Amino acid sequence: MSEKSFAIVCDVGCDLPAHYLEHMGAVIVDSCAEMPDDEELTARYANAYRALAKSGVTQIAAVHSSSAFSSEVVCACKAAASCVDVAEVRVIESAAASAATGMVVFRLACFREEGASFEGATTAARELAEQVRLLVVPSRAPRFPERRARRRGGALIRRATSSIRVRLSGERSLYLLSRGDLTQLARSAELPDLTGRLAHAMSAVASAEGPLVYACVETGDERALRALMKPLDTNEFDSECLGTLLMTEGVEHVVGRGAVGVAFVPASRYWHDPGDNPSGQDGQEQPDQLQ
């Protein structure tokens, strides 16, 4: 990390593959395998920050999903506060989760490679983080491990998806996670109906805010992925697909196997560069794949 102007720290909940994050030079704090409690997770972040500072990198940008989805960002903030004596850590909270957070991590890495300052890059990343959104259709029977269920995000989605109606009728729901708020947009027993409404919701945003950039997320269920892709492939709004990502274990724990979703943001915000970028390069010249 010594050749980098600042460090980027994230967790696997951004749904970018670990090898890709490593290629970008991001430091990954994995909380999924052992499911540590919040105290242990805070300690892991603090250890990561202090290790970076010891290596000579004292400016650190930490990117995590909305606190409405997981407590990673809360733990990161506590860890940052405990490391003020050795490093300047700026925690960037995504307004959404999953690949929407991955978009923020990716663009932050682009800003750094383009030569943006720590101040300029983190400011631009925070502006993007406020604009990213996630449309998701959880499975009919999401799994909520005890630790996750105690968290705010687990409780929000559990209340919305584990009702008697869902269990008895097989209904699923379409949700929007935006600006840290979770909103139910539709219910149906038919997945194609919900994915069609998902595409319609994106079309409405594109009509109001301009062309979109998006990434699909799935859990390995080919039938569900086909149901998601069909309306997106035939959409009539201006958009660019960055790729399809497989949800990591932590995200799948929240939304359940068989879930599908789309992370998206207006293209004008996604490709926007920090104002202090000395290279003057157009962000659209950067790699456009999240895989």
What is this structure's pTM? 0.85
pLDDT at 280: 40
Fold adopted by 7-130: Rossmann fold (3.40.50)
CATH of domain 133-269: 3.30.1180.10
CA distances from 165 to 162, 247, 255, 259 (A): 8, 26, 17, 18
The DSSP symbol for 237 reads S
Cα 175 to the chain's mean position, in Å?
15
Question: Does position 82 have pLDDT exceeding 70, yes or no?
Answer: yes
Share of residues in the chain with pLDDT > 90 (%): 69
Give pLDDT tens digits for 229-278.
Answer: 999 998 889 999 999 999 998 899 889 999 999 999 999 999 998 864 44
- Do the domains 7-130 and 133-269 sit in the same CATH topology, yes or no? no
Give pLDDT tens digits for 219-228.
Answer: 999 999 999 9
Helices H / strands E in the chain, number of each: 12, 10
Question: Does position 281 have pLDDT exceeding 50, yes or no?
Answer: no
Share of residues in the chain with pLDDT > 70 (%): 81
pLDDT at 152: 40
**Residue-range domain boundaries for the chain:** 7-130, 133-269
Strands 212-218 and 260-266: antiparallel
- Rounded Cα distance, 41 and 31, in Å: 7
pLDDT at 286: 46
Looking at residues 63-76, what average pLDDT do you find?
90
- Rounded Cα distance, 140 and 124, in Å: 37
pLDDT at 202: 98
pLDDT at 49: 98
Is the model more confident about 27 or about 274? Answer: 27
Beta strands per DSSP E along the chain: 7-10, 26-28, 59-64, 88-93, 133-137, 172-178, 181-188, 212-218, 239-246, 260-266
pLDDT at 9: 98
Looking at residues 54-72, what average pLDDT do you find?
93
pLDDT at 37: 86
Give pLDDT tens digits for 102-142.
Answer: 999 999 999 999 999 999 999 999 999 999 999 999 996 54
User: Across the chain, what does the average pLDDT equal?
Assistant: 86
The two structure tokens encoding residue 3: 């050749």
What number of other Cβ atoms are within 10 A of residue 287's Cβ? 9
Give pLDDT tens digits for 29-58.
Answer: 976 655 678 899 999 999 999 999 999 999
Q: 232 φ, ψ to 5°?
A: -75, -35
Per the listing, tokens 């400016």 go with 59
Question: Does position 175 have pLDDT exceeding 90, yes or no?
Answer: yes
- Could you tell me which residues come within 8 angstroms of residue 8 by beta carbon, excluding any fewer than 6 positions away? 24, 25, 26, 27, 60, 61, 62, 63, 105, 108, 109, 112
Rg (CA), the chain: 19
pLDDT at 4: 78
pLDDT at 35: 63
